[in-house]
Amino acid sequence: MKQGLMIVVSGPAGSGKGTVNAHLLQTEDFVYSVSATTRAPRPGEIDGVNYHFISREEFLARIESGDMLEYTQYCENFYGTPRKEAEEVLASGKNLILEIEVEGARNVKKKFPDAVLILLLPPSFAVQEARLRGRGTETEDKILARLERAKEEIAEADFYDYVVYNYDGRDLDAAEDILAIVRAEHHSMRRHKKMADSYFAC
Ligand code: 5GP
């Protein structure tokens, strides 16, 4: 059976990555990698669906036992991708979406060079700031910290394979762009190294 693709979708706070990824996840070909985090749940977030909300002690123990495929510290909290779940999804042939930040993406690319890295951006920094404030879920301090982090992340993000812009009210278009990238990647010749062998074997 063919192996699924590991797809990293990073986007700074306010990029709308949750909404865009939700479109992709409506198809059966994609599975969301539920990260573990030490951050407190936001209103409406469900344990085991949005994140596995765990204590700092448990997170550190899971790093120690090799259970995190990658992890990072972001604005004072730990975030990481559980290894076992990721490996199971890929082996089942489905595409795994990792909604992670830039440092995590860099680590994924080092360990899994075949991963596809997509950066989702708002149309501009000004739009990003307006979206973040409009969300109203963070204090001013946290908004400023996230905007600062976004500036650093975008400045060093040229190692990504693709960039997709999420214009206001056009999240479906952004999801379709990502779908097109994933389709093309599945047909990439570098993923079909044994193409000639298997073609002539039948
Ligand atoms: P938030 O607190 O807004 O849910 O997430 C903060 C940042 O952490 C976002 O950029 C999100 O994509 C990133 N993130 C979420 N889960 C993971 C993870 O497992 N690993 C890494 N490296 N980043 C993550």
pLDDT tens for each residue of 65-81? 999 999 999 889 999 99
Among residues 185, 177, 181, 180, the alpha carbon closest in space to that of 20 is found at 177
| Alpha carbon distance 34, 124 (integer Å) | 28
Rama region for 136: left / alpha / beta (φ>0; ψ in -120 to 50; rest): left
Question: How do the domains of the chain map onto residue ranges?
Answer: 6-33+93-201
Per-residue pLDDT tens digits for 168-201: 999 999 999 999 999 999 999 999 888 899 899 9
Spatial contact of 89 and 33, defined as CB atoms under 8 Å apart: yes
Identify the H or E element spanning 117.
Answer: strand 116-121
Q: In ligand 1, which atom is closest to the CA atom of 103?
A: 22
Which residue owns the Cα nearest ligand 1 atom 9?
101
pTM reported for the whole predicted model: 0.92
Give the Å distance between the CA of 41 and the centre of ligand 1. Answer: 13
Q: In ligand 1, which atom is closest to the CA atom of 36?
A: 19
Ligand 1 within 6 A of CB of 35? yes
> Any idea which fold 6-33+93-201 has?
Rossmann fold (3.40.50)
The number of C-alpha atoms within 13 Å of 162 and in the hemisphere containing its C-beta is 19
Coil, strand or helix: which one is 199?
Answer: helix
